Chain A
Amino acid sequence: RKEVEQDPGPFNVPEGATVAFNCTYSNSASQSFFWYRQDCRKEPKLLMSVYSSGNEDGRFTAQLNRASQYISLLIRDSKLSDSATYLCVRISGTYKYIFGTGTRLKVLA
């Protein structure tokens, strides 16, 4: 099993739709997780941290399920500007990031 696994997509959704991505991880000892957003040929940008209690920031909600070893990202009311690749990240060791391959989202007008 890959350390961090994501469905590469693409997910093509109409504007205004709700879309959800999952990410599974293999190391049950992992403590910290993040969702980053990456636009084409740009750097990853922090979207949000993921906590066991869940985390909501506007239209974005992140959840962590430790029992099943997955994290999720829910985007409500999708905008054209949400089109990007969403990267799941877990921390290993001393702040080393392990990235998933990313899930590509296209929001269509």
Chain B
Amino acid sequence: EPEVTQTPSHQVTQMGQEVILRCVPISNHLYFYWYRQILGQKVEFLVSFYNNEISEKSEIFDDQFSVERPDGSNFTLKIRSTKLEDSAMYFCASSEPGQTEQFFGPGTRLTVL
């Protein structure tokens, strides 16, 4: 069964450093998303992406965040200068055109020290 994959599974970084989280969505999906979940809290929407541009973004997704689809398979989330409060689980998701069900990757746990 096709699935969304994410790398790395765990990333530890120093405050102020840049990180790039990588995702490979399901191959025939065209809508891509990033969500985050701070430990003990709910899953929060960050950004949606379609046709090589951002469709929608949340208040959390400020100038420190960016997304990119550098090739036909990868979808990345970059945090330019990490803060302690960026520590969370980051989930990538994808969905088919015309379908509302989203399928989530296993997540990247980001720890900012």
Interface residues of A (CB under 8 A from B): 32, 34, 38, 41-46, 49, 87, 91, 93-102
Task: Give the number of residues in B that approach A within 8 Å (Cβ atoms).
Answer: 25
B residues at A contact (CB < 8 Å): 31, 33, 35, 41-45, 48, 50, 55-56, 89, 91, 93, 95, 100-107, 109
Judged by DSSP, the binding face of B is strand
Q: Which 10 A-B pairs have the closest CB atoms?
A: A43-B104, A99-B43, A101-B42, A94-B55, A99-B42, A32-B100, A96-B45, A44-B104, A43-B106, A43-B107
A9 → chain B closest CB, angstroms? 14
Shortest A45–chain B CB gap in Å is 7
CA distance A42 to B105 in the complex (A): 9
Whether A94 lies near B56 (C-beta < 8 A) is yes
Question: Considering the chains assembled together, what is the distance between the CA atoms of A80 and B28 in angstroms?
Answer: 35
> Which residues does chain A contribute within 8 Å of B55, judged by CB atoms?
94-95
Are B42 and A49 within 8 A (Cβ)? no
Residue of B nearest to A44 (CB): B104
B43: A residues at CB distance < 8 A: 38, 44, 87, 97, 99
**How far is it, in angstroms, between the C-alpha of A38 and the C-alpha of B107 when the chains are bound?**
12
In the complex where A42-B106, A95-B31, A101-B42 touch, is A49 in contact with B101 (Cβ < 8 A)?
yes
